[in-house]
Amino acid sequence: MGEEGGSVTLLCLTASSGVPLFCRSMGAPSRHQLPFSVIGSLNGVHMFGANLDVLLTAACTANTHVVWRVFHNSITLIVLSSEEGASDFALGRLLDNTFSAMVLILGLEELVNVRNIERLKKDLRECLEAFVAAAESRFGCLVAGGRLALATEPWWQLAPQELLLLSWLVGSLPPHTARDYPIYLPHGSPTVPHRLLTCQLLPGLEACLICGPSPALHTVETELVPRFWKPLLEPLQACVSPQPHGLPHGTTLPPGVLAFLLIHREQRSSQSSVQPPGSGGEGLSPRHRARALRHFYALVTTRYFPWEGSPAPPQEPFQAGFPHRARHCYVVSATHKAYAIHAPQHQLFLLLAPHVPTFALRPLAACALQRLTGDIAC
* Cβ neighbours of 197 (radius 10 Å): 24
Sorted by sequence, the CB contacts under 8 Å of residue 272 that are 6+ apart come out as: 246, 259, 260, 261, 262, 293
8-131 is a CATH 3.40.190.10 domain: no
Cα distances (Å, whole numbers) of residue 207 to 35, 103, 136, 202, 337: 43, 24, 12, 10, 40
φ, ψ (nearest 5 deg) of residue 60: -130, 140
Same fold flag, 8-131 and 251-307+325-373: yes
| pLDDT tier for residue 211 given thresholds of 50, 70 and 90 | confident
Supply the pLDDT for residue 1.
37
* pLDDT, average across residues 4-29: 77
> Which residue has better confidence, 324 or 291?
291
Answering whether pTM is above 0.85, one says: no
- Residue 279 above 60 pLDDT? yes
**Structural contact between residues 338 and 301, judged by C-beta atoms closer than 8 angstroms:** no
251-307+325-373 is a CATH 1.10.3470 domain: no
DSSP H helix total and E strand total for the chain: 11, 15
* Cβ neighbours of 113 (radius 10 Å): 10
Domain boundaries, the chain: 8-131, 140-230, 251-307+325-373
* pLDDT, average across residues 226-252: 60
| pLDDT tier for residue 124 given thresholds of 50, 70 and 90 | very low
Q: What is the pLDDT of residues 336-366, one digit of tens each?
A: 999 999 998 899 999 999 999 999 999 999 9
> Could you write out the DSSP letters of every residue in 26-39?
ESS-GGGPPPHHHH
